[in-house]
A and B are shown apart, each in its own frame.
Chain A
Amino acid sequence: MQQKILEIKNLSKSYGETVALANFSLDLGKGEVLGLLGPNGAGKTTLISILSGTLRGFSGGVAFKGQDLFADRNLRNLIGIVPQEMAFYEELNAMENLMFWGGLYAIPEKELKKRAQELLTVVELGARAREPIKKFSGGMKRRLNIAIGLIHKPELLLLDEPTVGIDVQAKVSILDIIRDVGRQGTAVVFTTHQLAEVEQACSRIAIMDKGTILAQGTLAELIRIVGEKEIVEVSGEFSADAFSAIIRQSDGNGMEILSVADNQAHLAFADSQAIPAMMQHLFGHHLPISDLKIKSPNLEAVFLKMTGRSLRD
């Protein structure tokens, strides 16, 4: 077993009536890259805020390298945090930003400068180090945001939705950076609601919803949860209620309902032979279907099975 760098035990946090985290527990080993997959409102940002030490009023505990994370402020020098927002000074250029943020840690100026230059190369901003940030694209800003979180060579890097709002190419580049950071030995947790991202960049995946972990493991381990099944995605102008009413009248035949929503539903079949009969049943009840897709088991199916809802909302 790898040595644990982070152990989160039974974290709970509520905002009034809203439960943001409910007995959330998670372990992380050194050099692991964990993708934390959850839909909107799952509690991802709440978790990162607690780990960053800026959100109080929770119960449960967090150990970092075996020590209580909140007992010693200096432990924060070993953790890098990349918030969802572009939290830096747009009036400064990239180099100046790294010098300011790095200056908050007791790093000698000369070393800091060297480190900043290296990092700018890593995040592919080496040539733009002294340009006004106002001229940066969304992807460039995201990369600078990550570089700032890495300036003090943290042993653990936490990123909150590092790929939100940028184009595909920029996303690929950021996922590459995250993977490289992991290869250098830094443990990484990043949150996302993009399935493709965790499939690409993570050594381990955790699915969370409503403030708690529903499933975790490698991609292969998670897919085994769904099993050797065929996934059918049904789309059309129907309501969730109408779909449920019709499906209840069928004999099922080893079929599992993964999710039902207005206009879309997902079904899993252990026996692919059962699929045509089910389709006939749906058409027979005049369900307005516009599209049918048959897929092999993937993370999306796992997610649907675990949360009962789709990520795309």
Chain B
Amino acid sequence: MKKIWHIGRLDLKLMVRDKAFFFWILAFPLVFILIFGNLYQGSKTDAKASLTVLNQDTGKWGDYFIAKLKSPGIELSVVTTPPGEYFRMLVIPADFSQQIERKASQKLQFKKDSQADLKAGAMADTKIAQAIVKLLAELVMYGDRDLKDFFDSRSPYRDLVTVRSRLPEGTIAKVPSGFDHTIPGILVQFVMMMVLIYGGISVMEDRKKRVLARILYSSASYAELFGGKFLGRLLMGLLQSAILVGAGLLFFRLNLGNIWISALNILVFAAAMASLSIFVGSVLRREEVIVGVSVLAANMFAALGGCWWPIEIVPPAFRALGMVSPAWWAMDTFHQVIFFAKGLETVWPNFLALLAFAAVFTALALRFFKVSE
């Protein structure tokens, strides 16, 4: 164990010593974060749907109905004269109360501005429908008694009805955006790229210089040597992650959702990349080739995995294709915990998938890892 740590620690030290280290590990990813973070910034007006209610009712039922419309997701403004500008407006007619008490049907007018946001509109629609359902339910419960006494009789059924609306399973209600999406995305991309490049090249060079063989001249075993090389690359990935998470917290108010799940996600993903880098450094013999392959693989996996744009906005076929990329599973886990407040009960299959990637990469690394040419 001590020897594994001794060997692994050195690789991290050598990476930090590299002159270009801080550029690659901090400055470069920050540029990416700024570009993509602003590109996929969520529009703030989406969050709350504005709804104007023109209340022309002369009785009590209009106000009662409006009270049912109030909800945290709706920015409600009630007016009595037609406003000049609105996104969407619900008109309650003058005879609204009379018609209810007469138990007659009536029409509510709903007007939309052509500029109005569709998603916000859908939210308003739902709220209006919910208010109507609630009101109707109360009327049904009230029964045949005279509705004129409704407000005095303190019906025990009042407000007992709640309507819960849910979108069909699997519908994406919210598209992850902003820095909370971009920082994990760039983190995943750079963990791949840096671990593959630095980790791959040093495995190749240590083999060529016979440093790997020399480690085995001591009483260190093959398993300790491999373990040390794995640990070194894992530490590289964790250092890259820590730097970006630190920058995110400091400058971008990064929210990682459940911090433990996010940390575990980073750990497992970095472990998969650590093994992959040993494999890459074992089968490739030239620095330029390793850099080329690493950059290509990291960027392809990043694009497929949804590191650059939210995977939720791409066509389903492309999204399914993304599952071949380990980054996909890491990004999905981030999105689940950061944007959808999900826990281990939802993301455990993602961890299984990442562990499977790690197992395959480790098997390949073990198969091809050698101490001399």
Measured between C-beta atoms, what is the minimum distance from A133 to chain B in Å? 12
Please, which residues of chain A bring their CB within 8 A of the CB of B14? 89, 91-92
Q: B70 in the interface, Cβ–Cβ < 8 Å?
A: no
**What 6 A-B pairs come out closest when comparing CB atoms?**
A104-B218, A87-B210, A87-B214, A85-B210, A81-B217, A76-B219
Query: How far apart are the CA atoms of A100 and B218 in the complex, in Å?
Result: 12
Write the nearest CB–CB distance from B108 to chain A, whole angstroms. 76
Inter-subunit contact A77/B218 (CB<8 Å): yes
Closest residue of chain A to B214 (Cβ to Cβ) is: A87
How far does the Cβ of A112 sit from chain B's closest Cβ, in whole Å?
A: 12
- The yes or no answer to B213 lying at the interface (CB within 8 A) is yes
Interface residue? A58 (CB, 8 A): no
Complex Cα gap A20–B335 (Å): 60
Chain B nearest CB from A85 CB (Å) reads: 5
- Of chain B, the residue at the smallest CB distance from A158 is B217
B218 contacts A76, CB within 8 Å? yes
A59-94: CB near B (< 8 Å → 1, else 0) gives 000000000000001101101010101111101100
B211 beta carbon closer than 8 Å to chain A: yes
Q: Is the CB of A53 within 8 A of B211?
A: no
Give complex CA distance A80, B294 in Å. 37
How many residues of B are in contact with the other chain, CB < 8 A?
Answer: 21
Type the 1/0 row for B73-99, where 1 means its CB is closer than 8 Å to any CB of A.
000000000000000000000000000
Residues of B close to A104: CB separation below 8 A: 3, 6-7, 215, 218-220
Please tell me which one of the listed residues B213, B218, B219 contacts residue A83 in the complex, with CB atoms under 8 A apart.
Answer: B213
- Whether the Cβ atoms of B17 and A54 lie closer than 8 Å is no
**Which residue of chain A has the shortest Cβ distance to B221 in the bound complex?**
A73
Look across to chain A and name the residue whose beta carbon is closest to the beta carbon of B14: A91
CB distance from A99 to the nearest CB of B (A): 10
Which A residues touch B209, using CB under 8 A?
A: 85-88
B6 and A54 contact, CB distance less than 8 A: no
Determine if A53 and B217 form an interchain contact, defined as CB atoms under 8 angstroms apart. Answer: yes
Interface flag for B191 (CB, 8 Å): no
The smallest beta-carbon distance between A202 and chain B, in angstroms, is: 23
New A-B pairs, 18, CB < 8 Å, besides A52-B213, A76-B219, A87-B209: A54-B217, A54-B372, A73-B221, A76-B218, A79-B217, A83-B214, A85-B209, A87-B213, A88-B209, A88-B214, A89-B14, A89-B211, A91-B14, A100-B6, A104-B3, A104-B6, A104-B7, A104-B218
A103 within 8 A of B: yes
Instruction: Determine if B371 is an interface residue (Cβ-Cβ < 8 Å).
Output: yes
- Looking at A88, A103, A104, A106, the one whose CB has the most chain B CB atoms below 10 A away is A104
CB-based nearest A residue for B208: A85
Q: Would you give 16 A-B contacts (Cβ < 8 Å), ordered by A?
A: A54-B217, A73-B221, A77-B218, A81-B214, A83-B210, A83-B213, A87-B213, A88-B209, A89-B14, A89-B211, A92-B14, A104-B215, A104-B218, A104-B220, A105-B219, A106-B2
Q: Report the Cα distance A148→B213, complex, angstroms.
A: 14
List of B residues within 8 angstroms of A105 by Cβ? 218-219
Q: Tell me, rounded to whole Å, the shortest Cβ–Cβ distance linking A76 to chain B.
A: 5
Write the chain A residue with the least CB distance to B15: A91
Taken together as a complex, chains A and B put the C-alpha atoms of A53 and B218 apart, in Å, by 10
Question: Chain B: which residue is nearest A102 at the CB level?
Answer: B218
**Whole-angstrom distance between the alpha carbons of A74 and B2 in the complex?**
15
B10 at the interface (CB under 8 A from A): yes
Which residues on the A side are within 8 Å of B213 (C-beta)? Answer: 52, 54, 83, 87
Q: Contact string, B45-81, partner A, CB cutoff 8 A, digits 1/0?
A: 0000000000000000000000000000000000000
Within 8 A of A (CB), among B314-373: 371-372
CB distance from B215 to the nearest CB of A (A): 6
Give the residue name and chain of the B residue nearest to A151 (CB): B218
In the complex, how many angstroms separate the beta carbon of A222 from the nearest chain B beta carbon? Answer: 31
| CA of A83 to CA of B212, assembled, Å | 12
B2 / chain A contacts, CB cutoff of 8 Å = 106
Interface status of B161 (Cβ within 8 A of chain A): no
Q: Which of A73, A87, A103 is B219 in contact with, Cβ under 8 Å?
A: A73
Contacts A81-B217, A104-B3; is A91 near B17 (CB within 8 Å)? yes
Q: Name the CB-closest residue of B to A149.
A: B217
Which of A52, A76, A77, A88 is close to B211, meaning CB atoms less than 8 Å apart? A88
Within 8 A of A (CB), among B177-210: 209-210
Q: Does B34 contact A (CB under 8 A)?
A: no
The answer to the question of B216 belonging to the interface, with a C-beta cut-off of 8 Å to chain A, is: yes
B217 and A52 form a contact (CB under 8 A): yes
Query: For window 141-180 of chain B, which residues contact chain A by CB distance below 8 Å?
Result: none
From A52, A79, A100, give the contact of B10 (CB < 8 A). A100
B-side contacts of A148, CB under 8 Å: 214
Chain A residues near B372: list those with CB within 8 A: 54
Q: How far is the CA of A53 from the CA of B220 in the complex (A)?
A: 11
In the bound assembly, the distance between CA atoms of A224 and B218 in angstroms comes to: 40
Distance between Cα atoms of A85 and B6 in the complex (Å):
23
Q: A53, B17: Cβ atoms under 8 Å? A: no
Query: 1/0 contact trace for B1-21 toward A, CB 8 Å?
Result: 011001100100010010000
Give chain A residues whose Cβ lies under 8 Å from the Cβ of B10: 89, 100
| Cβ B216 vs Cβ A54 within 8 A | yes
Residues from chain B with Cβ under 8 Å of A81 in the complex: 214, 217
Contacts of A100 in B (CB 8 A): 6, 10
Complex contacts, A79 vs chain B, CB 8 Å: 217
Specify which chain B residues have a CB less than 8 angstroms from the CB of A88 in the assembled complex.
209, 211, 214
Residue on A nearest B220 in the bound complex, by CB:
A104
> What are the residues of chain B within 8 A of A101 when measuring CB–CB?
214, 218
CB interface residues, A 85-133, toward B, < 8 Å = 85-89, 91-92, 100-101, 103-106
Contacts of A53 in B (CB 8 A): 216-217
